[in-house]
Amino acid sequence: MADNRPIGVFDSGIGGLTVLREIWDLMPGEGTVYFGDNGRAPYGTKSKSTVIKYSLQNMHFLEQQDVKMIVIACNTASAHAYKALSEKSDVPVIEVVTPGARCAAGTTRNGKIGIIATKGSVNSGVYKEAVERFAAPGTKIYQQACPLFVSLAEEGWWDNEVTSLVCSRYLTPLKEAGIDTLVLGCTHYPLLSGAIRKFMGDGVTLINAGKAVAQVVRETLEENGLSCGGTQEPLRRFYTSDEPELFEEVASPFLGRGLPSGTLKYNTDRFDV
Ligand code: DGL
Q: Which residues of the chain have pLDDT under 70?
A: 230, 257
Is residue 1 a part of any domain in this protein? no
Tell me the CA–centroid distance for residue 12 and ligand 1, in Å. 6
**pTM (predicted TM-score):** 0.94
Are residues 104 and 197 located together in one domain of the fold?
Answer: yes
228 catalytically annotated: no
What is the tens place of the pLDDT at every residue in 159-168?
Answer: 999 999 999 9
The total number of structural domains in the chain stands at 2
Residues 64 and 105 occupy one common structural domain: no
Q: Are 152 and 163 in contact (CB under 8 A)?
A: yes
Q: Which domain holds residue 178?
A: 97-209
The angle subtended at Cα 149 by Cα 106 and Cα 74, nearest 5°, is: 60
Residue 15, ligand 1, Cβ within 6 A:
yes
| 75-122: pLDDT as tens digits | 999 999 999 999 999 999 999 999 999 999 999 999 999 999 999 999
Establish whether 186 is a catalytic residue. yes
DSSP letters spanning 172-200: HHHHHHT-SEEEE-STTGGGGHHHHHHHH
Of the candidates 209, 235, 250, which is a domain's last residue?
209
Q: Is residue 215 part of a domain?
A: yes
